[in-house]
Chains A and B, each alone.
Chain A
């Protein structure tokens, strides 16, 4: 549960502060009609009590055990109990005040939230600017039938543009969501395209262990074992125990077993996390052109996304997932919520790692296209010089640690020289493979209304961006690129990451491509001079793909 601190920004001397988001006084609008003031659900007190009790239990039990040794069990227990009562009491008081002082209403024009004891925070959002209403509920809230509602305008001004109601009843959350996101339903309901776009297929779980999460979790599990054993002062015993188990076996086996154990822990962890994140996943299109993602095993989440904010999609393929023939689908949309406590990757993901064909299919449905542009676009390969650049970077990245190790080895000890040799032997082929793959993955093209660009090797992304969503071009060319006849095109957009790149395109072809992608924008600044007879340079890029 995030504390209300995020509302209580210091506004010295301002007892009644209207946040900069409020474009007018909250009192001017919505004095009449439907918007009566409402309170948060009082059961938030219960939630706070349970959370605090959990914290107290977690901290109090070790403390009591520790103190019991010195002052006897009963005294220790009474001290800890007193502390617990104090903490819970204060917490409940604070929460009660927060609950008493927090009210919200949804008027015909504005949604407003008043909160705070000494610094009364009044925040009001114009309803037509509200872009997202997200519901989340952690397990405790779910048991009580409550949800946390986050109402956002999607403007990138930090937390100022978000109203957080924590918590309200589930029914109230749904009501807010439908009321606030209800737009005039334009056009006829599209039987094909409304309704459920994708539901979870349990077989997708097999892509969880091949994500980058598994090794991270595996490493973390080893770290956790060491850390916990250190806390209880049994780390040395742990090492002894492991040493005894592998007394007769060679070192190689020991390392292999530890790695295997970590891998197992990583796989289990990744599967667990995947289940928690994606259980009950469902992607729907609701009347009024809103996309809605619902998911979550313990913590349930509902993310709504207005379709008119969608400027495209991005297929994301981390290496392991790509080798397994799968891809994740993200939305490229303007004004997605970005929270500190919630990973922003969550909000834009439309589909977890799923077979590539499914991802393409869902992309097509999301974009209301017969076929996904990520599939139909004929991607022009990039010139050979781009490959050379990638090879050089990869070799430099692989050789830098080798060089450092070798120098240190020459100066200090011969062992490092061996390690350097092993690093070189393993690293160089890997670097070359990755560089070649990175080059192969480069591509750009046009497909109908979309501009498609692909790049990356460890994390390959294929973005399909609406050409009408491109709101500017940035062309960069380093000295090396200039000599190689390459340039990097960056399409700036209001959506997603704000800019999408076409790395190392051939100069002539790249500029022609950019000019064609967004008619009229680049053309006035281009000079086309006929080249009488170009020497057939090796591996010049293919001509721009026809649409």
Chain B
């Protein structure tokens, strides 16, 4: 019966601006500890090396991550919405495919954090009755996200089912 079965990647990529958003996230994530360490290092003379060296290491790591990881994420993150289901792929080291059928969707939310607003992006979160079944589509163009949320709400309402 020689047959290989695999999950095909979903069709759509996040918005190209998502790369910038992820970069900003990494940078802000790095900036806080680096700044704290650097300020402390400037103020506390005796421990200067012990504070500035980790700060430098963190800064280099953070910059590297900000440069590379978002590009990588952009290549692996995929999403797709069909008439039957929402289908999302994320991760590389820990790849994850999530599928939630339309008939079981309970709520459709769009979330925009401050950084996302800056990049005009949105995250669509689709929840089902399962506490562990939520599906997130991150880094969507905000107009597309609003449109998608509306479409999902429509399809969900039209699809019979008690969601459990």
Contact = CB atoms under 8 A, between A and B. Distances in A.
Contacts of A522: 7, 99
Contacts of A476: 94-97
A508 B5 contact: yes
Interface string A480-520: 00100000001011110111000000011101100100001
A533 B4 CA distance: 11
B122 interface: no
Given A521-B101, A526-B8, A493 B130 contact: yes
B133 A527 contact: no
A530 B131 contact: no
Contact of B98 (A156, A472, A533): A472
Interface of B: 1-8, 10, 80, 82, 84-85, 87, 92-101, 104, 128-133, 135, 163-164
Interface in A343-401: none
A534 interface: yes
A499 B133 CA distance: 8
Contacts of A490: 132
A532 B4 CA distance: 10
B1 A543 contact: yes
Given A471-B100, A474-B99, A334 B129 contact: yes
A251 interface: no
Contacts of B100: 471-472, 492
Nearest to A485: B4
Given A492-B130, A498-B133, A499-B133, A508 B98 contact: no
Interface size band for A: 35 or more
Contact of B128 (A471, A497, A515): A471
Contacts of B94: 476-479
B5 A507 contact: yes
A121 to B, nearest CB: 26
A345 B43 CA distance: 54
Contacts of A472: 98-101, 104, 128, 130, 133, 135
Interface in A437-478: 469, 471-478
A524 B2 contact: no
Contacts of A492: 100, 128, 130, 132-133
B2 A530 contact: yes
Given A476-B94, A476-B96, A477-B95, A524 B84 contact: yes
Interface of A: 156, 334, 469, 471-479, 482, 490, 492-495, 497-499, 507-509, 511-512, 515, 520-522, 524-534, 543
Given A476-B94, A524-B82, 15 more contacts: A471-B163, A472-B104, A473-B98, A474-B96, A474-B99, A474-B132, A475-B7, A494-B164, A495-B164, A507-B6, A508-B4, A522-B7, A525-B87, A526-B8, A528-B3
Contacts of B85: 521, 524-525
Contacts of B163: 471, 494
Given A474-B96, A522-B99, A526-B8, A498 B2 contact: no
A431 to B, nearest CB: 25
10 contacts: A473-B97, A473-B98, A475-B96, A475-B99, A498-B133, A499-B131, A511-B6, A521-B99, A528-B5, A532-B2
List 7 tightest A-B contacts by C-beta distance, closest first.
Answer: A492-B133, A494-B129, A498-B131, A471-B104, A492-B130, A499-B132, A494-B164
Given A471-B130, A474-B133, A499-B132, A525 B7 contact: yes
A477 B76 CA distance: 13
A522 B82 CA distance: 12
Nearest to B98: A474
A473 B100 CA distance: 7
Contacts of A512: 3, 5
A543 to B, nearest CB: 7
Most buried by A among B5, B10, B85, B99: B5
A261 B129 CA distance: 49
